[in-house]
């Protein structure tokens, strides 16, 4: 092959590679733009809709809450055994974390932004884990988005799958679970604010709407909470599975980040 032919071949290969990378970037950008209009609840349901967990992963309830056993399904660890992370002498609550190498630098930046957002409105401080830490969050890209509720002890997985879970609001949502919070629609006072329409719920998904004895921090029910699922969550027929009471036209489940009430109850729980 002549030098000129080799040059042309190299130029063509480079052009094709650039076109491929551009197209791949365009697809990713398009997917991100489509997701910008979705609430945290919708993003989570979409990410976990066809989830098939591996044998070493926990079972899930309510879409994204990890359980150690079936016996935990109707319990709230924050009221049954305590779930808070400890407060240091300086009044801050330091929560150690480790981000596995599953993620690109750009993806890590999204996670870190979510972690650091808590320091702007609470005494929670997520910090990289140290060798002396006994309990820590291991942030991994497993099958779907999920977290245990509250401090469990030892290594505690928070899954943020690279496909579907890396958004600011979803990171906040899963971290709130890890800090001890359940979904809004399972609050003990839920029936005063939300009517659940089980006739529209997918078969086998009814358990996602069970009330549990939650610790509500004396806070009002919050339709705008990042922990409130959307109107059609787990619907089998495109009909609502939840309606607000007494006004069914009230908008809810549209949060894209933590609400004022989310922040207030976090500060109340941890006495910030």
Give the catalytic positions in this structure: 174
Structure tokens at 163: 């496909």
Q: Is 183 annotated as a binding residue?
A: yes
d(CA 176, CA 160): 13
Give the DSSP H/E element, type plus range, for residue 156.
Answer: strand 155-160
Helix axis angle, 168-179 to 40-48, nearest 10°: 80
In the numeric block, the tokens 């799958």 are attached to 161
d(CA 9, CA 149): 57
Q: Is 177 annotated as a binding residue?
A: yes
Alpha carbon dihedral 38, 47, 71, 206, in 10-degree steps, equals: 60
Binding residues: 173, 177, 183
Annotated binding-site positions for Zn(2+): 173, 177, 183
């Amino acid at each position: 092959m002549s030098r000129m032919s080799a040059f042309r071949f190299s130029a063509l290969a480079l052009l094709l590679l650039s076109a491929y990378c551009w197209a791949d970037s365009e697809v990713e950008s398009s997917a991100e733009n489509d997701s910008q209009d979705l609430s945290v609840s919708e993003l989570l349901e979409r990410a976990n809709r066809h989830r098939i967990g591996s044998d070493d992963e926990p079972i899930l309830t309510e879409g994204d809450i990890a359980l150690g056993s079936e016996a935990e399904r109707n319990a709230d660890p924050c009221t049954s055994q305590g779930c808070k992370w400890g407060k240091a002498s300086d009044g801050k609550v330091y929560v150690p974390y480790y981000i596995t190498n599953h993620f690109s630098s750009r993806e890590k930046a999204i996670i870190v932004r979510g972690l650091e957002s808590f320091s702007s409105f609470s005494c929670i401080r997520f910090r990289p884990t140290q060798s002396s830490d006994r309990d820590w969050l291991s942030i991994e890209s497993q099958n779907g988005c999920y977290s245990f509720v509250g401090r469990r002890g030892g290594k505690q997985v928070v899954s943020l799958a690279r496909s579907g879970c890396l958004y600011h609001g979803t990171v906040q949502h899963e971290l709130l679970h890890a800090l001890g919070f359940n979904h809004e629609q399972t609050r003990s006072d839920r029936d005063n604010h939300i009517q659940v329409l089980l006739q529209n719920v997918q078969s086998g998904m009814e358990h996602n709407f069970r009330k549990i004895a939650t610790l509500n921090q004396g806070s009002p029910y919050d339709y705008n909470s990042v922990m409130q699922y959307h109107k059609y969550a787990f619907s089998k027929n495109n009909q609502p599975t939840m309606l607000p009471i007494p006004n069914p036209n009230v908008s809810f489940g549209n949060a894209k980040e933590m609400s004022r009430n989310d922040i207030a109850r976090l500060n109340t729980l941890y006495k910030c």
